Chains A and B, each alone.
Chain A
Amino acid sequence: MTQPLRDIGESILFSLRSLYGQHGYSHYKMNKFEEYDLYARNKDFLISDNVITFTDGNGKLLALKPDVTLSIVKNSKDCSDALQKLYYNENVYRMSKGSRNFKEIMQVGLECIGKVDDYCVYEVLKLAQRSLDVISRNNILSVSHLGILSEVMDKIGVPDGSKAEVLHLIGEKNLHELGSLLGKLGVCDESIDLLRRLLNTRGRTDEVLLKMGELLRGVVSDDTMAHFTGVLSPLSSEKNLSIDFSVVGDINYYNGFVFKGFVEGIPTSLLSGGQYDMLMRKMGRSSKAIGFAVYLDTIEQYIRKPEKYDVDVVLLYDGTSSLSQIGEAVQRLTADGESVLSASVLPVQIKYKRLMKMQNGRVDIIETNA
């Protein structure tokens, strides 16, 4: 049977909504438009800083949402002793890198805001993993921790003004240029080697945690390491989890855990998230927050195989059959699970499995392509 066009994206969307609902996340529906000022003040938080703007009847500059998290934070209550668990599925509008055209992107995700403790972080990571499982079994959730990277950079003497460049090179796994930049910044060889070893540490999660504990003893605070190990240890049996410090984010917005999800066969990450307490501070909030988004357009683009046919059956009729005879024939075919396009003339540029003709109430197959 020919699948309806949006089947895969929609079935994933339903599964994800149900998954988040089961864990107490409530559906958050928002306005299509947002005041542009919100994005102008937080440009660096956006994936693409191009925003579609327009002026409403009152002269207010509005924008089509390029991001969901900023709106949720703006509209959430600032309660550091309470917790809000929300999920959304919304369209966002971003410029695609290659074509410089705007694209409508369907995004589903969740946010946990307020008194975020280690269990909340663990649960969000677990839900990120389970979201990837919904999409494909061959997936990997790569997890990093900006708190650890920040403390390492402080300890080895990276000046604040160079941290973004250092993080950029870490994100590229560009160890050769990282080494020479750190050298120019006066970082000693031993410290450069420490960072290299941290970035190259890989393997089973429990083993990596052990290695990291040894490597970072005296470099990273006990509290940060305890938080990192405490959250990841219960997840260490998950074969699809990998600790990878090349997953980075802007330290002006993100702190703690940052993560990206990958599925085999899809060339880009289709899940992205992290703890964004720094964004909360920037927006005058004292509470904490963590969340992630799943990019459904990427999934549609790569997982759904192109349809070979537009329709299963084209049923051509002429004036010799009654309307009820044509209607009954269509009903019989659709009851067998086939899609049917009925018309008196053959539609142009349509690919079908079978062409049928109805004359005097009788249906005959006149062409088969399948």
Chain B
Amino acid sequence: MKPMLNIALPKGRLGEKVYGMFETAGFPCPSIKENNRKLIFENDEVGVRYFWVKPSDVAIYVERGAADIGVAGKDILLEYEPDVFELLDLNIGKCRMAVAAKQDFHDDAGRTLRVATKFSNIAENYYLSCGRDIDIIHLNGSIEIAPILGLSDVIVDIVETGTTLRENNLVVIDTVVPISARLIANKSSYKFKAEAIDRIVSGMAKQVEESV
């Protein structure tokens, strides 16, 4: 029996797009397209097992070896710093991690900057690199309202089209880092399943090149 390659896919539209790339790379699993609530799908013939997980959990599944490979956003990789291989930038799910503030915001360098964010680690590292003294306010959602209600001076969050910011009278004042989906692998799995993983990497790299 072929050893199974376990692949963690992020639930949602990005995951469906990513599955399409795996399929094109020669690792199909037709049952994944059935309309049901199953989360795990196998194709014994090809030797793959896909499972849908919350996008922010993909890196944990891979780091802990429950999945051999997976696709996670660069934001998650920077925030949690999992000990994994980052094999390919898939060039999809593109957005940016940005600093935003009210339109009339002026950064008074003489006082501590209050930063509201879901991404505390990224924000801390960014402001550390700027040498700016900050106070992190960790929030789990609706970050945009923090400056409006006076909870923070700025926010650090993912910006895709900028619509939510505009509707809340916020503007991007700086880009922290560009974000896109990355193919990641468990460091131990890669040693023992290198051939299959390399085939996936080259199959997907070809698609990325063609899309540029």
Contacts and interface: CB of A to CB of B under 8 A. Distances in A.
B42 interface: no
A91 interface: no
A172 B86 contact: yes
Given A173-B87, A267-B64, A269-B187, A262 B194 contact: no
13 contacts: A140-B191, A172-B86, A173-B85, A174-B85, A177-B86, A242-B191, A262-B188, A262-B191, A264-B188, A266-B188, A267-B189, A268-B188, A269-B188
B152 interface: no
Contacts of A246: 85
A302 B189 CA distance: 14
Interface in A167-220: 172-174, 176-177, 202
B interface secondary structure, majority: mixed
Chief secondary structure at chain A's binding surface: loop
A148 B194 CA distance: 24
Contacts of B64: 267
A158 B84 CA distance: 24
Contacts of B194: 202
Please list the 3 inter-chain residue pairs (A to B) with the smallest Cβ-Cβ separation, ordered nearest first: A267-B65, A174-B86, A173-B85
A264 B86 contact: no
For chain B, the bracket of interface size reads 10 to 19
A176 B87 CA distance: 8
A266 B65 contact: yes
Interface in B40-89: 63-65, 83-89
Nearest to B185: A173
Contacts, number: 45
B19 to A, nearest CB: 21
A142 interface: yes
A268 B190 CA distance: 11
B130 to A, nearest CB: 17
Interface in A257-299: 262-264, 266-269
A263 B188 CA distance: 7
A267 B192 contact: no
A142 B191 contact: yes
B89 A268 contact: no
Interface in A137-169: 138, 140, 142
A262 B88 contact: no
B63 A267 contact: yes
B186 interface: yes
A244 B189 CA distance: 14
Contacts of B185: 173
Interface centre among B64, B185, B188, B194 (most CB of A within 10 A): B188
Contacts of A173: 85-87, 185, 190
